[in-house]
Every structure is written in C-alpha cells, then in structure tokens.
Amino acid sequence: MKLLLAISMVVSMNIFSDLSNAVIIDVRSESEWNEGHLSKAYRVDWDEIAGSIEEIVPDKNMQIILYCRSGNRAGKSMKILTNLGYTNVINAGGLQSAKELSNDRVIKEEI
C-alpha cells in the first residue's frame, strides 16, 4: 500500500515542485482533526468538499494537498476535485505523510 501511495504521489506531482504555497486540506472527521492536524490545514469533510472548495481555493490551478487517515478519503476527494477542474491535486495519504510532504507541524486543538 505504501509503495502504491508513493507511486501515486510521484505521478500526481512534479517532484521538483515548491509546495510552500500549497493549500492543505484535512478531509477527516472533526474528532480526528481535534486529535491533531497540520497547522496550516483547512478541515473539510471529504463528502462536502465539492460545495466548499471554491471558497477555500478559487484558483483551480493552485496546488492542493489532501490528507486523511489512510489516503482513502483523500483519494475520493482528489477525484471530486479533479472532476471539478482542479489540476494540481495531491493525495498525501495520512497525517504523517502530509506532514513530511508539506514540511508542516502537527498541532492539537485545545478544547
């Protein structure tokens, strides 16, 4: 599975891309988000992303990094965004992979 994810990431992005301006979207549930998420991430339920994405990312050519727990919901979200015309979407898989890819840090919400 990890090899398939790595191949998917390489195919989905130019390995020389600068990801510092990418929009990071966590498509996990609110309870998963509260357990820890990337500091620069937006949270959108994967099944609501079609109705929310234009507000977060109006430029369909902007780089978007999606993550969830395993990459499954991020993959579904990636398909939705691609069908909506977004051209630069990466399924980073899980939180740790997204952290490494984006060079971001994990934070936990204080409740």
Indicate which residues carry an active-site annotation. Answer: 68
Please return the burial class of 106, using the count of CB atoms within 10 Å of its CB with bins 0-12, 13-18 and 19+. Answer: middle
Task: Report the distance separating Cα 27 and Cα 93, nearest Å.
Answer: 11
Per-residue tokens: 86: 């977004």
Task: Report the distance separating Cα 109 and Cα 19, nearest Å.
Answer: 24
The CA-based diameter of the chain, rounded to the nearest angstrom, is 39
For residue 93, give every residue at least 6 positions away whose Cβ sits within 8 Å of its Cβ, in sequence order, or none: 5, 9, 67, 68, 70, 71, 74
